[in-house]
Structure 1
């Protein structure tokens, strides 16, 4: 069992002691009973009885054990390192994690989620039991990192060579390849495209409302309307843009989160395409590269539009307190979008490079 351990010697009431008690409870109430049901002995690092270098023993267990159950709650660095070692082996691994505490890096991998209540812990134990039953009966499915590694290793040989399973039987030549496994990534890119369209719509809505309100405020100024009337006009404008500003922030946040979640998979796919001769890539690879380039172009256009709002946020706040909330939403959206697009530029640059090599 891989997961956070905490400190059993820490003072009572301290975060380290509470973490120890919590994760010990997860092990004793959820993981160990589920494993025992199928005759599997579950071991935690602090339960290794043999003398020796604990780090070496942990790595040995991580690499050689028949099964690893990993609690990824909070993205503990030691856990993520050990989990990376495990993924490379391609051996059976089950992910569990506390709801709301899952790291984005592995959010695309199926994870059994639990909450700190008796009923939810019992439900998590049953889900682990079901996963064990299905895995022991039908075989455990390779996780994406293992498929990536095996795909890269296989690409060093002839593309026409058939794979042979552990039982010595030849596997189906028409079995899904690595690019087929990345269908989930393409779905994620489609969702990002939809996010970008929503961002553009929010920007256009704010722009239209701004133009309309500017005309109204200019008219009030030309008529030398009293300051209260002008302030009322400003308040109406701020109220109008509050909803689209909130939408801009919300969608930009979703866009940025998808970016983080997909980054590792997209880079792995680009690496595989790079290792594959252009004439052997197929239409799927070309469409994937085109999708990355198109998404980047749309995002750059959206960033140029939203940037103009970001530049005027400070000035809006100085005009009236009514602008504080929408200005905050717009500013946060600009920052999230800018950060995400910076990472996307790397995808698109590599995609253009690979697309160019295919036409040379």
Structure 2
């Protein structure tokens, strides 16, 4: 008996695979982007995922094939959490897919990632992902890779991803009781395993570091604004004095030289800020998903403080977003003044992009936190 036959006959092996990915709209116009997304992902489902799962006796289900009556969002959450296996197509970093994937990660249950080559989000670049291209040979290869991943996982066990720690932290107090307290020889919780407050503290530390990054960014922007104001005053004086262009160019060169250090610092801090966002995103979304699943009176210690912290962080970020956006627009105008300014302006523009992307994602955290906080007081 070969490995696949043995695995299929084992009653303890996974039976249901839930497929997470963009769905699209089957009723959209034939040439519309929504219809293209539907046709493409249906093809991946039918030609790649279904046959791979079938080889090991599993049925594959997509969200649009759930036939039970009820709230579709609740049903999807349950499928994501309860299914024996999840295959997630992360192509394009669809926000709904990433949210569902974060929720799945913390369960510690088997998850396989696939994605179209060139369309993989940076957020999960460190996680092994089966890549495919839109050709028959590449799709066949992706199917075989999924089959190989399934066989190895079913035989040797699936890799436990880091966010699974959050779920283990939400175990009840009975799960962490010592052997002596249990009185029945039950295995005690390892002394070094994190509890709920430990996990919230890790996220809290990361959020605190992001707050410090934002303060450093604010101070650097203020420095750049002061230097710019001083340069503008000098340029105005030179223009009124009808100074030659060579004198004005020399002034711009001096301004560029003084601008280089703070512009580089701004880029560095903004990149660090965005990096923290990426590293925290999966854990924060997973924690929000678990809080959402728990009844308001059973969320556990630290949950409400966690929601408050996310909302406060977003408020501080939104205060500076308008300033950052206008600053980025003025940087473009500065670059047209002289080639001397192109390097510092490039640093500033890159920093602005990092910040806007990170703050947008932070807003998604806060929106969910506000929704959960409002539900607790309703």
Give the TM-score category using the shorter length.
Answer: 0.5 to 0.7
What's the secondary structure of 1:7's corresponding residue?
coil
The answer on whether the counterparts of 2:110 and 2:158 sit within 8 Å (CA) in structure 1 is: yes
Stretch of structure 1 that moved more, 246-255 or 63-72: 246-255
2:338 equivalent to 1:322:
yes
> Who is 1:230 aligned against?
247
CA distance in 2, matches of 1:322, 1:76: 40
> Who is 2:6 aligned against?
none
TM-score (norm: length of structure 2): 0.53
2:123 equivalent to 1:94:
no
> Which of 45, 49, 53 is the aligned partner of 2:69?
53
CA distance in 1, matches of 2:250, 2:126: 50
Cα offset, 1:152, TM superposition: 2.3
> Which of 251, 259, 269 is the aligned partner of 2:277?
259
CA distance in 2, matches of 1:238, 1:113: 49
Q: What do residues 184-243 of structure 1 show as CA deviations (whole Å, max 9, x unaligned)?
A: 989x99x98xx99x989x99x989x99xx99x99xx99xx89412113314534665579
Q: What do residues 71-127 of structure 1 show as CA deviations (whole Å, max 9, x unaligned)?
A: 2334545545655664565432223334565567x6377251535344764554444
CA distance in 2, matches of 1:78, 1:337: 22
Q: Which runs of 5+ in 1 are unaligned?
A: 163-167, 278-295, 297-302, 347-360
Cα pair distance change 1:181/1:135, threshold 3 Å: farther
2:166 equivalent to 1:148:
yes
**How many aligned residue pairs are there?**
308
CA distance in 1, matches of 2:327, 2:108: 49
Cα pair distance change 1:206/1:114, threshold 3 Å: same
Cα pair distance change 1:102/1:320, threshold 3 Å: closer
Cα pair distance change 1:45/1:249, threshold 3 Å: same
> Who is 1:69 aligned against?
87
The answer on whether the counterparts of 1:7 and 1:19 sit within 8 Å (CA) in structure 2 is: yes
Cα offset, 1:161, TM superposition: 2.6
> Who is 1:349 aligned against?
none
The answer on whether the counterparts of 1:30 and 1:125 sit within 8 Å (CA) in structure 2 is: yes
The answer on whether the counterparts of 2:328 and 2:352 sit within 8 Å (CA) in structure 1 is: no
Cα pair distance change 1:93/1:181, threshold 3 Å: farther
Cα pair distance change 1:61/1:228, threshold 3 Å: closer
> Which of 9, 19, 43 is the aligned partner of 2:27?
9
> Who is 1:358 aligned against?
none
CA distance in 1, matches of 2:125, 2:161: 10
> Who is 1:27 aligned against?
45
Q: What do residues 275-302 of structure 1 show as CA deviations (whole Å, max 9, x unaligned)?
A: 899xxxxxxxxxxxxxxxxxx9xxxxxx
CA distance in 1, matches of 2:42, 2:172: 41
Cα pair distance change 1:229/1:14, threshold 3 Å: same
Cα pair distance change 1:317/1:40, threshold 3 Å: closer
The answer on whether the counterparts of 1:114 and 1:121 sit within 8 Å (CA) in structure 2 is: no
CA distance in 2, matches of 1:329, 1:88: 37
Q: Which runs of 5+ in 2 are unaligned?
A: 1-18, 180-184, 292-299, 303-312, 314-319, 366-378
The answer on whether the counterparts of 1:97 and 1:111 sit within 8 Å (CA) in structure 2 is: no
Quote the RMSD (CA, aligned, Å): 6.1
CA distance in 1, matches of 2:142, 2:99: 24
Cα offset, 1:133, TM superposition: 2.3
